[in-house]
């Protein structure tokens, strides 16, 4: 349930998370020992790199780690020399990832990068008052530097992340934020020890804001729960209650809900099957040219690219400003715009076939979250008209030609004339 593996097995965070566990283990070791050796710093750097490479959101998780470490430093639990060495490792791993990701400028203009620079510049003061000021300066400086670097490099790839946070706190809406917040996984969720407590708090905030990120909260919560058995921390409680009695009582309470959950899972029988998509992919392989260009919903385009080996104009990598712009054009098929206008834009993208999914046209996860409703926010001028996807399901002529149709999918050929 934490990894969403029951919904989508090949998730990028599922490949990254094991390296974060290793990274936190190494960081805990570094915080514990008085003198840091080069081997542990190199290992921390390598685990950082392997954590960041597969997953685009890794930088935001590491940002919470840097914030937690800075808070630990402000409270006086670690000295500036140790924090400086840890920051150096983060900077080196960030640069290496930037190179390995073919110069992904989003990394250098991220809040994570800005935070590293600001904290590095603020390690000269040690008085308590200065540390409080440093904390405020870190927050303001990180946001300011991130904005300036994005402006200087002309990078807008991660602009939607800030908009998602605005959507969570002040109700901001646009096409890109609704594409995220309307998804269930982005909805709201009903001295070393010091670092991990702060890190747990940060993970808790992330999980509450974006349900998908409970991937980090739940395992860390389990790790912290093990501290209940620490005589050093809870010895005063053990004087009154035997540890075995306490553990048994906790397990007994957990078993009430846990037993019901297990029974529910055991009652689930079956296997994954998507026959309509299999029919679609087989039709594409047999009836279209190898160089035929497809457009459609992002998850479906990933399958077309992977299984049918056809070129696609959009795919699920939403952390690129140019790709977001193309996806927005592709999803205009689910707006209320005129068919002639949508066809003209798709031809500009070089699309030969459009895969229309009726479920995207009519499904409504919650009020305001159907695709036509999302487009009403972006395109109020056409609000009230019949959605184009509905019209295409009835009759695609004269602007498109229906060449394939089953229970879930309709393939529209786009004439060039």
Q: Where are the domains of the chain?
A: 12-257, 275-413
Where is pLDDT greater, at 90 or 150?
90
Q: In the chain, pLDDT over 70 holds for what percent of residues? A: 86
Chain centre to alpha carbon of residue 117: 24
pLDDT averaged over the chain? 83
- Predicted TM-score (pTM) of this structure: 0.64
CB atoms within 10 A of CB 274: 11
In the sheet that holds 294-296, the strands lie side by side as 294-296, 353-357, 409-413, 401-405
* pLDDT higher than threshold 50 for residue 189: no
Give 36 or 411, the one with higher predicted confidence.
Answer: 411
Share of the chain above pLDDT 90, in %: 37
User: φ, ψ for residue 407 (rounded to 5)?
Assistant: -65, -25
CB 312 within 8 A of CB 304: yes
What pLDDT, in 10s, does the model give residues 99-154?
998 888 888 888 899 989 888 877 755 555 566 676 777 778 887 888 788 888 77
Q: Compute the Cα dihedral for 308, 309, 312, 317 and give only its sign.
A: positive
pLDDT in tens, 323-371: 889 999 999 999 999 999 999 999 999 999 999 998 888 877 788 888 9
Q: How far apart are CA 123 and CA 137, in angstroms?
A: 12
Check if the beta carbon of residue 107 is closer than 8 Å to that of residue 98: yes
| H/E segment holding residue 404 | strand 401-405
CA 227 remoteness from chain centre: 30
- pLDDT computed for residue 249 by the predictor: 80
232-272 confidence digits (pLDDT tens):
666 656 666 666 676 778 778 878 888 888 888 788 776 66
- Reported confidence tier of residue 61, pLDDT bands at 50, 70, 90: confident
In sequence order, the 6+-apart residues with CB closer than 8 A to the CB of 36 are 30, 82, 85
Better-predicted residue by pLDDT, 334 or 155: 334
Domain 275-413: assigned CATH number: 3.40.50
**Residue recorded with tokens 């840091």:** 36
- Phi, psi of 401, deg, nearest 5: -120, 120
Residue found by looking up tokens 């989003």 in the block: 106
């Amino acid at each position: 349930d934490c990894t969403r593996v029951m919904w989508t097995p090949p998730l990028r965070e599922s490949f990254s998370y094991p390296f974060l566990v290793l990274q936190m283990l190494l960081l805990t070791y570094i915080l514990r020992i008085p003198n840091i050796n080069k081997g542990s710093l190199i290992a921390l750097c390598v685990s950082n790199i392997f954590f960041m490479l597969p997953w685009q959101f890794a930088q935001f998780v590491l940002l919470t780690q840097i914030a937690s470490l800075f808070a630990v430093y402000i409270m006086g639990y670690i000295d500036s020399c140790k924090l400086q060495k840890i920051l150096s490792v983060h900077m080196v791993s960030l640069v290496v990832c930037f190179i390995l990701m073919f110069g992904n400028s989003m990394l250098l203009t991220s809040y994570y990068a800005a935070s590293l620079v600001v904290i590095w510049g603020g390690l000269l003061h040690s008085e308590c008052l200065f540390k409080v000021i440093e904390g405020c300066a870190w927050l303001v400086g990180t946001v300011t530097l991130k904005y300036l670097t994005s402006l200087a490099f002309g990078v807008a790839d991660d602009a939607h992340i800030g908009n998602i946070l605005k959507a969570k706190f002040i109700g901001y809406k646009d096409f890109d934020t609704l594409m995220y917040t309307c998804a269930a996984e982005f909805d709201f969720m009903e001295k070393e020890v010091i670092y991990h407590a702060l890190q747990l708090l940060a993970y808790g905030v992330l999980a509450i804001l974006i349900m998908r990120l409970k991937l980090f909260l739940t395992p860390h919560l389990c790790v912290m729960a093990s501290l209940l058995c620490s005589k050093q921390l809870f010895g005063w409680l053990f004087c009154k209650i035997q540890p075995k009695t306490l553990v048994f009582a906790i397990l007994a309470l957990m078993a009430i809900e846990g037993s019901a959950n297990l029974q529910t899972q055991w009652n689930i029988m079956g296997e994954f099957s998507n026959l309509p998509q299999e029919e679609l992919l087989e039709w594409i392989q047999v009836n279209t040219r190898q160089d035929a260009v497809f457009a459609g919903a992002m998850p479906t385009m990933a399958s077309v690219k992977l299984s049918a080996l056809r070129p696609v104009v959009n795919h699920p990598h939403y952390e690129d400003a140019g790709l977001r712009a193309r996806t927005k054009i592709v999803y205009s098929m689910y707006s209320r715009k005129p068919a002639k206008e949508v066809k003209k834009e798709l031809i500009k993208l070089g699309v030969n076939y459009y895969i229309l999914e009726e479920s995207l046209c009519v499904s409504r996860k919650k009020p305001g979250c159907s695709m036509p409703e999302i487009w009403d926010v972006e395109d109020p001028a056409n609000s009230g008209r019949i959605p184009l996807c509905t019209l295409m399901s009835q009759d695609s002529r004269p602007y498109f030609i229906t060449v394939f149709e089953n229970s879930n999918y309709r393939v529209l050929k786009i004439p060039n004339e």
